[in-house]
Amino acid sequence: MKVIKKISLLLVIALVAMQFFSPTKNISAGNHTSIFLKETNPSPELKRIFATSCYDCHSNNTTYPWYNNIAPISYWLANHVNEGKEHLNFSEWENYSLDKKDHLLEEIEEEVMNGTMPITDYTFLHSKAKLSKSQINDVVEWAKQTRIIYQLGKQPK
Ligand code: HEC
């Protein structure tokens, strides 16, 4: 019993100490997704979908929930954001080659169609981010059409 008490106390101390540290937030000034939006020309409805369901992990601006103030949740979220951005960052669209853009759109098509994106941990806590069947169809249709432009080797204006 004594040992359990000591371990619990140490855990509480560790949790309290952790609160003094937090990972750097993924927030930057300016509208970084404007080039992505200009090039791929999504409908207003699709724009809303990307903002609500994807940008938190795939852009340079995350809207943080209140529980991000609690460690170790903050580290867990930062990890999602960093990993998501590494794979696909809508704020850095202009830095991708035509091939990469084509490939990323193909991945978006697949991930959204399979229901792997947005990830379920996220939609569990952000119910608005969940995509309906018709929203999925709209994303897939948009991705298919936009890929043709990139495959033709033209940088859309
Ligand atoms: C909660 C964070 C989060 C949200 C929200 C999210 N993603 Fe992701 N996404 C990730 C992470 C983490 C990865 C990388 C690991 C993986 O594939 O599971 C990823 C990977 C991807 C990939 C794979 C890229 C590649 O190179 O293979 C695509 C495409 C993608 N996401 C698209 C989307 C789209 C589109 C949305 C919105 C409809 C979305 N994601 C929402 C976290 C997220």
If one compares 46 and 20, the residue with the highest pLDDT of the two is 46
Is the pLDDT score of 44 beyond 70?
Answer: yes
Full 3-state SS string of the chain: CHHHHHHHHHHHHHHHHHCCCCCCCCCCCCCCCHHHHHHHCCCHHHHHHHHHHCHHHHCCCCCCCHHHHCCCHHHHHHHHHHHHHHHCCHHHHHHCCHHHHHHHHHHHHHHHHHCCCCCHHHHHHCHHHCCCHHHHHHHHHHHHHHHHHHHCCCCCC
| 3-state SS class at 115 | coil
Q: State whether the beta carbon of 107 lies less than 6 angstroms from ligand 1.
A: yes
Q: How far is the CA of 97 from the centre of ligand 1 (A)?
A: 19
Asked whether residue 86 is domain-assigned, the answer is: yes
Does residue 27 fall inside a structural domain? yes
C-alpha of residue 84 to centroid of ligand 1, in Å:
5
Cα separation of 5 and 18, whole Å?
A: 20
Check pocket membership of 113 for ligand 1, CB cut-off 6 A.
no
In a domain, 125, yes or no: yes
Instruction: Please give the Cα distance from 94 to 33 (Å, whole number).
Output: 9
Question: What is the mean pLDDT of the segment spanning 74-100?
Answer: 96
Domain span holding position 66: 2-151
Ligand 1 and 100: CB distance under 6 A: no
| Overall domain count for the chain | 1
- How close is the Cα of 103 to the center of ligand 1, in Å? 14
User: Does residue 156 lie in a domain region?
Assistant: no
Residue 117 lies in a domain: yes
Question: Is position 157 within any domain?
Answer: no
Report the pLDDT value the prediction gives residue 154, as an integer from 0 to 100: 65
- With the most atoms of ligand 1 within 8 angstroms of its CB, the residue from 33, 49, 56, 57 to mutate is 57
pLDDT exceeds 90 at position 31: no
Is 71 a domain residue? yes
pLDDT tens per residue across span 96-143: 999 999 999 999 999 999 999 999 999 999 999 999 999 999 999 999
Q: Is it the case that residue 93 has pLDDT exceeding 60?
A: yes
- By alpha-carbon position, which residue is closest to atom 32 of ligand 1? 108
CA 26–ligand 1 middle distance (angstroms): 16
Q: Is the pLDDT of residue 49 over 70?
A: yes
pLDDT band at 30 (very low <50, low <70, confident <90, very high): confident
